[in-house]
Amino acid sequence: MSSLFEPYTLRSLTIPNRIWMAPMCQYSAEESGPDAGVPGDWHFAHLAARAVGGTGLILTEATAVSPEGRISPADLGIWNDTQVAGFRRITRFLAEQGTVSAIQLAHAGRKASTDRPWKGGGPVGPEANGWEPLAPSPVPFADGHLLPAELTVEQIEEVVGQFAGAARRAREAGFEVVEVHGAHGYLIGEFLSPHSNRRTDAYGGSFENRARFALQVVDAVRAEWPDELPVLFRISATDWLDEGGWTVDDTVRLADELLAHGVDLLDVSSGGNASGVRIPVTPGYQVPFAARVRAETRLPVAAVGLITRPEQAEKILSNGEADAVLLGRELLRDPSWARRAAGELGGTVHTPPQYDRAV
């Protein structure tokens, strides 16, 4: 049988196959009022379709741990009980399809308070439900972006507590996996990289100091999350800068620390923290980063990045480059990619009885 369709176990949780859905923002929640950040019909239909299509694990979009942690005012959140109730409908349906429900907990940091991409994606102010972004240092992401406020030590501790509260609510909402978002130039990634972290206190300067916030968040999430269920961490393996940024060597070093703090798998992406960089985007271009972490540490990894063809995904696993693959845009194009891949490679995935005639 193809490796893609073998179950995979993390702690006590067995995921039915190695085809997982990467988190992709939908920018489709209410922006303000009591239903701000609550998943609605769009989110249900979007995630349910991929579960019906046989995907083994589905990660929600970046889900903010606080209102100011959203990338845009239209992002999902999990900072209150109304949002918890909205997610329960989704996790219940995914479980009925045999799909594992996972949630990505996030804080956008200096890249917060921006508009929907199809409206330009530029910064928005209070008149458009925006707010002042927060960051490790008062350095904007790019020209034209809002100047973020530098977090005080007290505020850092508050954000760590917000991640802990979000993890607790995620379990109440029925999720079986949490992923801490440390990639793509959002708050945790901003602390990790010297490109965005100019602090001179205990959270800046040395590798140990820049990693402090990430590990505190992981500890806080792990403390709230059941011991028998896994915690993932998404990392940008490199800033794609020639100097002065986060590197693959740093990622390998951090992977060992994350494992020691209770992380069960590293979701390996790249980029997002520096504007204007050139990234050689080709099929599977990020897979070597995942492969290196897997080869040089004991932390399992998932690979992501222009993985589109079943035989390509199978080769990544059979070559030992990753333990699972995460598909993004390809699952937007084809919600039943997993079932199609099973047909091509001779595997099996869950098929609802309503769809038996199509097998």
Which residues are part of the catalytic machinery? 186
Please name the residues in contact with 161: beta carbons below 8 A apart, sequence gap of 6 or more. Answer: 220
Q: How many CB atoms lie within 10 A of CB 13?
A: 17
What are the residue ranges of helices labelled H in the chain?
A: 41-52, 81-96, 153-172, 187-192, 207-224, 248-260, 287-296, 310-318, 329-333, 337-345
Percent helix, strand, coil in the chain (nearest 5)?
Answer: 40, 15, 45
d(CA 329, CA 321): 21
Per the document, the length of the chain is 359
CA atoms within 13 A on the CB side of 46: 22
Burial class (CB in 10 A: 0-12, 13-18, 19+), 359: exposed
Residues 6+ away with beta carbon under 8 Å from 177: 10, 13, 57, 59, 100, 101, 102, 103, 229, 230, 231, 232
Query: Looking up tokens 């900072």, which residue turns up?
Result: 79
Residue type, 259: L
CA-CA distance, 246 to 193, in Å (whole number)? 5
Torsion angle of the four alpha carbons 345, 282, 272, 43, in this order, in degrees rounded to the nearest 10: -40
CA angle 330, 332, 337 (to 5 degrees): 55
